[in-house]
Amino acid sequence: MSLPTSRLAATGAAVVLALLLGGCGGGDDATPVAEEPPPTGSSPSEPSPDEPTGAPGRPCPRVLPTAGERAGADEAAEELPELPPVRRAWVCRYHPAQLGEGEGEGDGDGDGDGEGSPSGWERQGRAAPVADADLAPLADALDGLALLDLDTSQRVCTADLGPRFMVVLADAGDLTGVVVDDFGCHDTRLTADPRSRPAGADGPGGAVDGVLQGGPRVLEALGVGRGA
């Protein structure tokens, strides 16, 4: 005996509904659905604890801040610095360049036209992280920074001009810059804010003012510079 068409349609709908409900049930035989694990760590756009909060991932400015009219940048330092622990560091290479008006001031990221402007120092390439294996040799070299034996006016230096390197140390979000000339007398200067304070002429509340010696050992520890 055949069933009415309406009864067949109702029976089929009931079977489909039962199959759907059975697939969504929470029984022991149900296949679990894999869920994507929550992300761990910070996203690429978030600064790590040792990066500058104002410019994550940018420890070195495009242009080194200049001393301008501030005194002390070319005079012998009168005290030794107290540098932070060397846990994380970058090294940046700078070459002499013609700067536009306003460049080298503030955070050193201006885009002046370079016409009729004084010479300054412009970064070449990107900041290179210092390898973990080089941190201990770098710390030893920084411990060797010393006061000058002579006043800067009494020294005899070569008259060449080469690159200038800046080593940036990070400690709990604070940055310290060590700027080393890879020419002349290899003058070494410090800055408590590599992006806004000129090395060797930080002023009150900054790093040690003036020139130190011992920079070539710093470059040697990193394998950079003319002696590398």
Is the confidence at residue 210, as pLDDT, over 80?
A: yes
Are the C-beta atoms of 39 and 77 separated by less than 8 Å?
no
> Helices 215-222 and 132-143 sit at what angle, rounded to 10 degrees?
170
Mean pLDDT, residues 181-203: 91
Backbone dihedral angles phi then psi of residue 114, each to the nearest 5 degrees:
80, 5
Q: Which residues contact 155 (CB under 8 A, 6 or more apart)?
A: 148, 185
Report how far residue 180's alpha carbon sits from residue 160's, in angstroms, rounded to the nearest whole number. Answer: 15
Lowest-pLDDT choice from 11-25, 82-96, 138-152, 200-214: 11-25
Report how far residue 48's alpha carbon sits from residue 51's, in angstroms, rounded to the nearest whole number. Answer: 5
pLDDT (tens digit, 9 = 90+) per residue, 32-63?
Answer: 444 443 433 333 333 344 444 444 458 999 99
Lowest-pLDDT choice from 28-32, 66-70, 133-137: 28-32
pLDDT (tens digit, 9 = 90+) per residue, 57-113?
Answer: 589 999 999 866 555 688 999 999 999 999 999 999 999 998 766 555 554 444 333
Question: Mean pLDDT in the chain?
Answer: 75
Q: What is the pLDDT of residue 154?
A: 85
Q: Whole-prediction pTM value?
A: 0.69
The domain spans of the chain are: 88-222
Return the sign of the alpha-carbon dihedral for residues 89, 93, 96, 101: negative
